[in-house]
Amino acid sequence: MSHSKKSRKANENAPKLAPRTKKSDRALAGKKNKSGNKAGSRHNSNIVGGKDGSAASKKDPRHGSKKAIKLDLPSQVKVIAPKKEQGPKLTDEQKLFKLEEDPRLNQLLDMLEEGKDLSQDEQKWINKTFNQIEALMERLGITEEDDLGQVIESAAAVSDDDLLDRFESGADLLKDYQNKD
């Protein structure tokens, strides 16, 4: 297909130009009024210090405050230590296990068994730790009698016949549990 040049002739569908107006009819835009102060007015001695340069006649508030500023640091600076990120909270069983397996507690208990005297701080720490252990055991429902009963049972059930009887009674309990459903 051959290229055809556009025509410059305007037809009746072309956009129309605005009609010309005479110069006398046109309104000329006047000069825009400025707002604000003149450029460099802070440094102009006529405005800042008056005509003779004295500051007493007219004071410019843009020259700032003459109030003295203390530049030295305070004698005591508070240092805020960053908080340690803690992992997930421990359950009571985990707390109890952690307290019972504490190497410092074991070392101090060994010293007591040997008959050595402990300092007041160490004795306070042991008492505090034992109180925490007792509180956790109460929360979990563990008593010292239960612990002793488990030790005695394990010592008494040494024979093979006793172990077999315990195993069979456990199987019966399992069957009873399954039959409930």
Query: Is the pLDDT reported for residue 51 higher than 70?
Result: no
Mean pLDDT of the chain: 75
Q: What does the pLDDT read at residue 66? A: 81
Question: What's the whole-number mean pLDDT along residues 31-54?
Answer: 64
Q: What does the pLDDT read at residue 124? A: 92
Higher per-residue pLDDT: 151 or 78: 78
pLDDT tens-place string over residues 99-144: 888 888 889 888 888 888 888 999 999 999 989 988 888 888 877 6
- CA 44 to mean position of chain CA atoms: 53
pTM listed for this prediction: 0.35
Angle at 156 between CA 150 and CA 158, to 5 degrees: 110
Q: What does the pLDDT read at residue 128? A: 92
Q: Which helix (H) or strand (E) holds 132?
A: helix 120-140
* CA dist., res. 21 & res. 23, Å (int): 7
Lowest mean pLDDT among 46-60, 106-120, 153-167: 46-60
pLDDT band at 157; cut points 50, 70, 90: very low
pLDDT tens-place string over residues 54-93: 544 566 666 777 888 888 877 777 777 777 766 677 788 8
Query: Is the pLDDT reported for residue 148 higher than 60?
Result: no
Which among 181, 175, 154, 178 has a CA at the least distance from the CA of 166? 154
The rounded percent of the chain whose pLDDT value lies above 90 is 4
Q: Which amino acid is at 137?
A: M
Cβ contacts of 121 within 8 Å, gap of 6 or more: none
Beta strands in the chain (DSSP E): none
For residues 73-89, one letter each, b for 16 or more C-beta atoms within 10 angstroms of the residue's C-beta and e for the rest, the string is eeeeeeeeeeeeeeeee
Question: What's the whole-number mean pLDDT along residues 49-55?
Answer: 52
